[in-house]
């Protein structure tokens, strides 16, 4: 019996990946890693074994990964010494006899010079470590989460318009649910070893497109308001975001505007065997509720 461990079981992606795996495999095949097991009580109640572990505790991870065949390594949080955490997880997996690691970098198109601070370099570090590890690996590249759109456009966009620095780029956002389901396919099937997927949603949309979609949803004009980088940060801060988060959002938006996540879609749809959730579907589901 193949044992699959998913890290970050108490977070969005890890929990959703385990929930999707439960639809495909018996709970006895599944293990979740949590820093605080109590936060994964729902998964334990569904029959999934929860093991305690922290990316910073290498030796603890070696013990935790015993008997595991496949490991889904949920990427560590930005600005928390990701290299040490990822290195510990990969090294511990090797020592514990794990055979296959699935990792979720942010998509970085070949030849791109765009970088996300504390993300791009650290993802490439993982890729290098996996290639050198001798283990089988799969890279399930993530675009920006579709759930981040409200974070990027800030505040009540239906009332104030979509404020963003202008750019022609479009992003193939994907929902966490679809990404997690794709993970579950890769983890539960054979044949994904040494593959790299770009899990783009489809169609890709620009911020001007988002304004147009919101106009259609609300049946009133929602303007796209082109703002300077400084005014963008000020707008997000005024909407309640801490300045550091607003600055980080700006870098993502600059990448979107530069076309960093406008690559070829298809991998996500193939893995899911259906069309992924579109930005328009997501916005309709979220902003229609907010109007009432
Ligand atoms: N594609 C995108 O647009 C995008 C946007 C933001 C982030 N991301 C990346 O995607 C990852 C997953 O997203 P998410 O929404 O699932 O994040 P999340 O809900 O914050 O979940 C992060 C998970 O990682 C766990 N974790 C954090 N530090 C750890 C450590 N030292 N040792 C073991 N586990 C640790 C957390 O455990 P606790 O519950 O104990 O904190 C939590 O279970 C993020 O961590 C980030 O790298 C992607």
Atom of ligand 1 minimally distant from the CA of 39: 39
Distances (CA, A) of 41 to 75, 155, 161: 22, 34, 41
pLDDT score, position 156: 87
Tell how far the Cα of 88 is from the centroid of ligand 1, in angstroms: 16
Distances (CA, A) of 269 to 23, 70, 199, 237, 256: 18, 23, 8, 36, 21
What string of pLDDT tens digits covers the 292 residues of the chain?
Answer: 899 999 999 999 999 999 999 999 999 999 999 999 999 999 999 999 999 999 999 999 999 999 999 999 999 999 999 999 999 999 999 999 999 999 999 999 989 999 999 999 999 999 999 999 999 999 999 999 999 999 999 878 999 999 999 999 999 999 999 999 999 999 999 999 999 999 999 999 999 999 999 999 999 999 999 999 999 999 999 989 999 999 999 999 999 999 999 999 999 999 999 999 999 999 999 997 554 4
Q: For ligand 1, say whether the CB of 84 is within 6 Å of any of its atoms.
A: no
Tell how far the Cα of 103 is from the centroid of ligand 1, in angstroms: 13
Q: For ligand 1, say whether the CB of 264 is within 6 Å of any of its atoms.
A: no
Q: Are 138 and 102 in contact (CB under 8 A)?
A: yes
Atom of ligand 1 minimally distant from the CA of 147: 3
Smallest CA separation from ligand 1 atom 21, residue: 11
Q: For ligand 1, say whether the CB of 77 is within 6 Å of any of its atoms.
A: yes
Atom of ligand 1 minimally distant from the CA of 12: 16
Tell how far the Cα of 223 is from the centroid of ligand 1, in angstroms: 33
Tell how far the Cα of 248 is from the centroid of ligand 1, in angstroms: 16
Residue with tokens 């993970």: 183
pLDDT score, position 289: 52
Structural domains in the chain, CATH included, are 4-141 (3.40.50.720), 148-170+202-262+274-291 (3.90.25.10)
pLDDT score, position 239: 87
Q: For ligand 1, say whether the CB of 11 is within 6 Å of any of its atoms.
A: yes
Tell how far the Cα of 212 is from the centroid of ligand 1, in angstroms: 32
pLDDT score, position 85: 98
Tell how far the Cα of 11 is from the centroid of ligand 1, in angstroms: 6
pTM of the predicted protein model:
0.97
Ligand 1, pocket-test mutation among 36, 51, 77, 252, most atoms within 8 A of CB? 77
Q: Are 177 and 277 in contact (CB under 8 A)?
A: yes
Smallest CA separation from ligand 1 atom 28, residue: 76
Atom of ligand 1 minimally distant from the CA of 142: 1
β-pair partners for 245: none
pLDDT score, position 292: 45
Tell how far the Cα of 78 is from the centroid of ligand 1, in angstroms: 9
Tell how far the Cα of 54 is from the centroid of ligand 1, in angstroms: 12
């Amino acid at each position: 019996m193949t044992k699959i461990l998913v890290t970050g079981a108490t977070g969005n992606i890890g929990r959703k990946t385990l929930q999707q795996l439960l639809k495909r495999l018996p709970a006895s095949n599944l293990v979740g890693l949590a820093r605080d097991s109590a936060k994964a009580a729902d998964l334990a109640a569904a029959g999934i074994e929860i093991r305690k572990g922290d990316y910073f505790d290498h030796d603890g991870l070696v013990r935790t990964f015993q008997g595991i065949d496949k490991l889904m390594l949920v990427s560590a949080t930005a600005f928390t010494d990701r290299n040490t955490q990822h290195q510990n997880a990969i090294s511990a997996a090797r020592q514990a006899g794990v055979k296959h690691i699935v990792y979720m970098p942010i998509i970085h198109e070949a030849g791109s010079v765009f970088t996300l601070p504390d993300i791009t370099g650290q993802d490439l570090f993982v890729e290098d470590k996996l290639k050198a590890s001798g283990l089988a690996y799969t890279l399930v590249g993530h675009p920006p989460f579709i759930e981040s759109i409200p974070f990027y456009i800030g505040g009540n966009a239906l009332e104030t318009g979509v404020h963003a620095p202008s750019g022609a780029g479009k992003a193939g956002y994907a929902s966490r649910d679809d990404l997690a389901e794709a993970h579950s396919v890769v983890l539960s099937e054979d044949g994904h070893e040494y593959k790299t997927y770009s899990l783009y949603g489809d169609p890709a949309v620009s911020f001007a497109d988002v304004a147009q979609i919101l106009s259609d949803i609300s049946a009133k004009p929602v303007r796209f308001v082109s703002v300077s980088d400084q005014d963008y940060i000020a707008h997000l801060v005024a909407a309640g975001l801490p300045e550091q988060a607003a600055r980080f959002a700006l870098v993502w938006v600059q990448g979107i505007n530069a076309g960093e996540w406008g690559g070829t879609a298809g991998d996500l749809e193939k893995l899911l065997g259906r069309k992924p959730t579109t930005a328009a579907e997501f916005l309709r589901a979220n902003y229609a509720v907010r109007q009432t």
